[in-house]
């Protein structure tokens, strides 16, 4: 199967399997999405979703968050791991949003990536899911599947993102990256992968 045929098959199969793809992280607006994505680093979405209701009950906007003691934030988000670093970043970025952006989340990759604790992947999720700007955030599922499907070398997430953007139509990026995540969790996990039960791998082959 040629690469273009492979890509078209993947797009069609994912659309068939996941016509609707809700954002896995619970949030109310761009700020709460930003905080949820920051918390999801090295933590499952399911766990983040158990923590954020408690945090957002105390502070669901930068003004209230900036008033909170960092230790109080840390205590609430502890189940997500890396709590010392994440609590400090949440406090600092909230203060920056107030001082520089009147409490609003900026709508550019560059401005987002200047915020404490916000890397390219986090900025990409916020830009795509909060503001509708085409982006292709690469998490562990996408990185694994692009390699497994022989669509990327697997060298690093930066290369995987470049390959994904080159191969898939720009207008599909925001939905497609979520579809791949859902597929990776259901059919093509890192551990316990059963290729005979994975509809895409069954059709296009796969690399171990």
pTM above 0.85, yes or no: yes
CA gap 175, 181 in Å, rounded? 10
Domain residue spans in the chain?
Answer: 3-22+136-204, 30-129
CATH classification for the domain delimited by 3-22+136-204, as one of 3.40.50.150, 1.10.540.10, 1.10.40.50, 1.10.1670.10:
1.10.1670.10
Measured CA distances, 118 to 27, 124, 125, 126, 157 (Å): 17, 10, 11, 10, 16
- Superfamily, domain 30-129: Hypothetical protein; domain 2 (1.10.340.30)
Whether the Cβ atoms of residue 55 and residue 86 lie closer than 8 Å to each other: no
> C-alpha angle 62/83/40, rounded to 5°?
75
Q: Which residues are catalytic?
A: 121, 139
pLDDT tens digits along 8-19 = 999 999 999 999
pLDDT by residue (tens digit) across 32-78?
A: 999 999 999 999 999 999 999 999 999 999 999 999 999 999 999 99
């Amino acid at each position: 199967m040629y690469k273009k045929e492979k890509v078209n098959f993947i797009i069609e199969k994912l659309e068939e399997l996941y016509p609707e793809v809700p954002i896995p992280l619970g949030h109310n607006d761009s700020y709460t999405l930003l905080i949820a994505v920051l918390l999801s680093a090295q933590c499952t979405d399911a766990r983040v979703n158990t923590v954020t209701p408690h945090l957002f009950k105390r502070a669901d906007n930068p003004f209230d968050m900036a008033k909170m003691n960092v230790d109080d934030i840390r205590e609430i988000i502890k189940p997500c791991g890396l709590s010392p670093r994440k609590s400090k970043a949440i406090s600092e970025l909230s203060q920056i949003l107030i001082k520089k952006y009147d409490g609003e989340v900026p709508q550019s990759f560059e401005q987002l990536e200047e915020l404490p604790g916000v890397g390219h992947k986090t900025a990409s999720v916020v830009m795509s899911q909060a503001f509708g700007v085409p982006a292709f955030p690469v998490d562990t599922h996408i990185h694994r599947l692009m390699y497994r499907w022989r669509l990327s070398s697997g060298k690093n997430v930066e290369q995987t993102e470049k390959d994904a953007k080159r191969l898939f139509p720009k207008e599909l990026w925001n939905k497609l990256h979520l579809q791949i995540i859902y597929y990776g969790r259901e059919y093509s996990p890192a551990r316990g992968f059963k290729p005979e039960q994975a509809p895409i791998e069954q059709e296009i082959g796969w690399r171990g």
